[in-house]
Every structure is written in C-alpha cells, then in structure tokens.
Chain A
Amino acid sequence: MQKTTYPGRVSPLAGGRRGQMIGRRLLVFSGLLGLLVLGLVLGVGQGAVPVAPDEVVRALLGLAENPIITELRLPRVLGALLVGAALGLSGAAFQGLFRNPLADPYLMGSAAGAAFGVTLAVSLAGGLGGAFAQHAIFSVMPASATWFGFLGAIGAVLLVLFLSGGASRTHDLILAGVVVGSVLVGLTSYLMLQDADRVRAVFAYTLGNLAFLSWPGVGSLAFYLLITLPFFLLLARTLNALTLGEETARSLGLPLEGLKLLLIGAATLLTAAAVAQAGIIGFVGLVAPHVLRRLLGGDYRYLLPGSALGGAVLLLWADLGARVLVAPAELPVGIVTTLLGGPFFLYLLWRGRRV
C-alpha cells in the first residue's frame, strides 16, 4: 500500500504548534484526573469519623469492608463528582449557546426554577413534612422530581430570555436571571416553610448541600449524564460554529432551530437532575468552563468534556472544604462555591466592562 504523503505543510497535524496543543490538552486532562482521584480518596476519608488514606484505598478496592465508606461517604463523594460534572457541562453549553460568558444555570435562573419544580413535586406528593423530619428529603424523592425540576428550569429560562429580550445583552440577562431566580427561591422557601419546624433543612436545600446524597441519587445523576452526553457530543460542532454568530452558523448548513432546542433541553435536564439531588449550587457552571477555556482553548469538542471534569473536581474539593473548614460541623457546599465564585463573577463583569 502506498503511503499517503502531504505536500508541503498541507496537514496542520504536522505542525509543531499543533503537537504542543495536543500535549497541553493531554496535560490538562491528566492533571484534572489526578485531582479527581486525590479528591475522591481525601473526600472519602474526611468526616466525623476520620479514615486513614490506606484504609480508604483498601475499602475502595473492595479489600476491606467499611460501611461508613460504602454507605455514607462514597455516595456523597460520587454525587459531588456527578453534580459538579452536570453543572460544568450545562454551564459550558449555556455559555456557548447564548454566546454570553456569564450565562450559567445559576445566573440564568434555571437552577432556581428546577428547585421550585422539585419542591413542588415533593410537596404535591405529600412527602415534604415527613421527609424533612429525617433531614433527608432526597431519600424519598419521587422519581418524577427531576422532570418537575426540568419543567421548572425550562420555564425559568424562557421567562429570563423573554424579560431580557434575548441573550445578547449581558447585563439585562443577568438582571432578569437574578429577578426570576429570587422570586423562585422565595416561592420555594414559602412551600417549604409550610413545615416551619424544619427551617434548617429548608436552608440546607436552597443553599445547596451534598449531605443527603444516597446511592439511588447517584444512580439518577449517572443516568441523566449518560443519556445527555451523546447529545452534547453531537452539539460540540454546533457550539463551535455558533462562535461565528447565528446567521453564519445557519449559512454553514446547521439546522439551528432544532439544534438549539436540543441543546437547551439537554443542558436544562442536567441542571434539573443536579438540583433534584443537591439543591442550588451556584457558580460551578460559571467557573469551570471559564478556567478550562483558558487552559484548553475554545474548541467545544474538548471544552465540553473538560468543563464536565473541571466541574467535578471543583465541587469535589469545595465539598471537602465545606466539611473541613468548620469541622466537626459542616457548611452547605453552596456557600463555599458562592464564596469562591462570587469574586470570580465580579472579576468577569469588571473585565467585560473594560473591553
């Protein structure tokens, strides 16, 4: 067989700079994987009953039995990983779709919409009072909760887009997102406060908390990530083309109306799945794609998986912080991400104004 040769510099793959970029991506992805594994081991060991790292590794490998690890810590840590991945992925998708660097499930009101939908579902199912009695609404979460969350989130996104007159004006978008989000959080709190004795659990949910995650919750998150992942892979090229503007993307042959609906649907479903398990966790969907964009470049074929991995790492370590900072008590992880993400958000806003 004759070997195919490219005349001159025809294949950009031959260029040294391209090799550098591939090497860089490899480095970033392996670095993130390393942080992920380290966070997993530390996260499983950390808590009211500390477990030594070698014990953790042996339990994870199935060499030793430790119910604290397998029934409490492992679902929580895996849940953090999956919730973070879902938020990072949908954040990257929203930013690309709306060509707005500040679009994220939290700022767009979709997380608050999902929380409202989920709470409504639980309270309609009559499970709210009894569930909060055990501080574990999520173990009795009806299977339909994610779908209620989905409806709430879609409604919130549409309302925000309507109020801001499209997604092109950043400040209008954020303003509308904040207003819609606040109203929905208020409505959520009202529903929950019908059971006034459980105020602490109400706060834990609206602030974002991973403490309630159980194996069924982890299963649900994994399921929704798996069914939406093919859509994101299908849509990476669309997001790339959208960086040229909607008209140009359409002129390139992309059937944009359907693809945009698919993208909004997949990102919103993931947000709803995450909120149903862990409440409203802000800024992961904003910070992870931004950092990864700096490290990987703007090609969504790498940025989407990178943001998922980055979100997972971010939330895993934020949850570790939430459990270590005020030990033996713990903070809702949403507080940690908000404290980290708030200043980052202000920086982006400030930089955007200067340009």
Chain B
Amino acid sequence: MSEGKGVIEGPVVGGLGALEVSFAYRGRAVLEDISLELRPREWLVLLGPNGSGKSTLLRLLAGLLKPTRGGVYLGGRPLGGYSSWLRGQQIAFLPQNGGYPEDLTVEEVVALGRTPHLGLLGRGGRADWEAVEWAMQQTQVSGFRHRRLPTLSGGERQRVLLARALAARPRFLLLDEPTNHLDLHHQAEFLALVAGLRAQGLGILTVLHDPNLAGKADRVAFLSEGRLLAQGRPGEVLSEALLQQVYGRQVRVRWLEGQPVVLLGG
C-alpha cells in the first residue's frame, strides 16, 4: 500500500466505516444517511426488524454494493480505491444463506478463505497453511477436517464457514445473521466464539434480529426503515422507548444480571 495516496477524507481512521451513506435500489430508498464505524477489537451488533436494511448496510461495508450517496472507508481511504484482492484480505464476509459446498472437505473449504492472498493461480505456501490451521483451531473444527460438510451438524457447519472467513486473517469480519438456523445452545456457543475473536484484534460486525442475543456486544446499532435510530452500548440502545417505537407497545425491557432482556407482552 502506498502511503502517498492516504488521503483522510472522513472522521473514520482506523476502522471500517460508512459516512453519510444512502443506498437506493430501483429508485426505492433502502438506506438513508447512515454513519457507522466498525473499530478494530470490537464486537458491534446491527439490530432491526426485517426489511430495515441491515443486510444491505453489511454488503455496503463489505464492498459488495456501492453506495448511492456518501462513502465507505477502510483505514481512512475510500473502500472503492482498494483492489478486490486487497479488500478480500482485510474484510471477510459471511452471508446468511450463502450455501455450502457438498463435495469439499472441511479443510478444503477453510482453505478457500485464502483466495484473496493467492489470486487465481498462486499455490498455497507455509503462511497459507498456518492461517488455515489457526482458523480451524479458533473455531474448533480441526477434529473433523477430513469430513464433508453435509455430514456435519448445523452448528459444526456454521463454525466451518466462520473458519473459512477467518482463514484470510482479515481485520474485519462481517457476519449476516450467523445464528439464524441454530438452536438456542448453538446460538450462544457461536456468539461466545465470535466475542472471543475480539481478543485477536478483529473488528466484528454481526447482523442479528433478536435483541436478546446482543447483550454481550460492545456496541449495538439499531436500524429501522433504512435509518439508524440509535447506536451505543447495549444497555443504552435497547431501551423500552426505542423498542416500543419499532415493534409496538407490547414490548417490555427488563434488566437481568446487568443485561437488558427484551420481552413480549405483559
């Protein structure tokens, strides 16, 4: 990376951030004037009802969509100025229903995560295999590295796909509803794993639709109808007033062991 081009255009310096971003699809506004920054070493949860634009914002930050207005910045430079390979080395993205390969082994799938470092033809070297091993250790999937994905449970498979994202050794990890098809036990386990990755210096953004899964996050951002209603610590954002505004008057928020718990009815 050349230092000469490092023009700092926004307030976002060390992180991955959207600055006054709007996005329209076929003339319909999906996101309006969003400013949100994902910092290194933090777990940020993006909450909001269905159709609020969470997944779209995630794809803008991943560089898979281009904003209609405003800009996305990585390390203070416009994301669009990075080559796609360099972008893939720094930002890993895990879609909600991306599908999974049926004929590849766990190890082969995780190794696909090295693609941004290898390009089209590069052969994997020692650094690549070490990254793959590291990713498999973090997610505890090395034990079944030679099995194919259809033979795994949903929780195991999701950990393999997370390992694939980690294998690039990215600085930022963007996960779209990673716990959607998991049972309660695996949801908690998976999110604990994600939270633990902060210690590796990663900035992690997860889209979730259940506010109760966001209690242990560093920060929460709440999206509704394409607008950012609030961002801050979970206890500040998940207020009864805000949730009633979005979900209706039957929502209650109670505090339990230092965390807000969202209830329906009562």
Contacts and interface: CB of A to CB of B under 8 A. Distances in A.
B108 A250 contact: no
Given A12-B129, A17-B146, A237-B120, A244 B88 contact: no
Interface string B92-104: 1111001111111
B88 A251 contact: yes
Nearest to A17: B146
Nearest to B108: A299
Interface in A208-255: 233-235, 237-238, 240-241, 243-245, 247-248, 250-255
A11 interface: yes
Contacts of A233: 121
B133 A251 contact: no
A4 interface: yes
B115 A252 contact: yes
Given A9-B133, A248-B94, A252-B168, A298 B99 contact: no
Contacts of A243: 99-104, 112
A169 B29 CA distance: 29
A288 B9 CA distance: 54
B211 interface: no
Given A244-B100, A251-B62, A254-B115, 12 more contacts: A9-B133, A12-B107, A15-B146, A235-B120, A237-B120, A244-B101, A244-B164, A247-B98, A250-B84, A253-B86, A253-B87, A298-B108
Interface of B: 59, 62-64, 83-89, 91-95, 98-105, 107-109, 112-113, 115-116, 118-121, 126, 129-130, 132-133, 142, 145-146, 161, 164, 168
Nearest to A240: B112
A253 B116 contact: yes
A252 B121 CA distance: 14
Contact of A244 (B98, B103, B105): B98
A294 B68 CA distance: 46
B112 A253 contact: no
Contacts of A299: 104, 108
B87 A298 contact: no
A12 B132 CA distance: 9
Q: List the 8 closest A-B pairs by CB distance, nearest first.
A: A298-B103, A253-B88, A243-B101, A245-B98, A251-B93, A253-B85, A253-B116, A252-B115
Contacts of B132: 12
B99 A99 contact: yes
Nearest to A242: B101
A252 B112 contact: yes
A251 B130 contact: no
B105 A297 contact: yes
B91 A6 contact: no
A260 interface: no
Contact of B118 (A12, A99, A237): A237
B101 A298 contact: yes
B87 A293 contact: no
Given A12-B145, A253-B89, A6 B64 contact: no
Contacts of A99: 99
Given A245-B95, A247-B95, A10 B133 contact: yes
Contacts of A18: 146
Given A247-B98, A251-B91, A252-B116, A237 B121 contact: yes
Nearest to B110: A12
A4 B120 contact: no
A254 B84 contact: yes
A237 B112 CA distance: 8
Interface in A92-108: 99
Nearest to A11: B129
B64 A10 contact: no
Interface string A241-273: 101110110111111000000000000000000
A12 B130 CA distance: 9
B92 A251 contact: yes
Given A9-B133, A234-B120, A297 B91 contact: no
Contacts of B121: 233-234, 237
B98 A241 contact: no
A308 to B, nearest CB: 18
Contacts of A237: 115, 118, 120-121
Nearest to B113: A252
Contacts of B103: 243, 293, 297-298
Contact of A6 (B99, B112, B126): B126
Contacts of A234: 120-121
A15 B85 CA distance: 30
A150 to B, nearest CB: 24
B130 A10 contact: yes
A4 B101 contact: no
A17 B64 CA distance: 37
A332 to B, nearest CB: 33
Contacts of B86: 253
Contacts of B146: 15, 17-18
B112 A247 contact: no
Contacts of B133: 9-10, 12
Contacts of B88: 251-253
B87 A248 contact: no
B68 to A, nearest CB: 19
Contacts of B104: 240, 243, 297-299
A15 B145 CA distance: 10
Contacts of A251: 62-64, 88, 91-93
B108 to A, nearest CB: 6
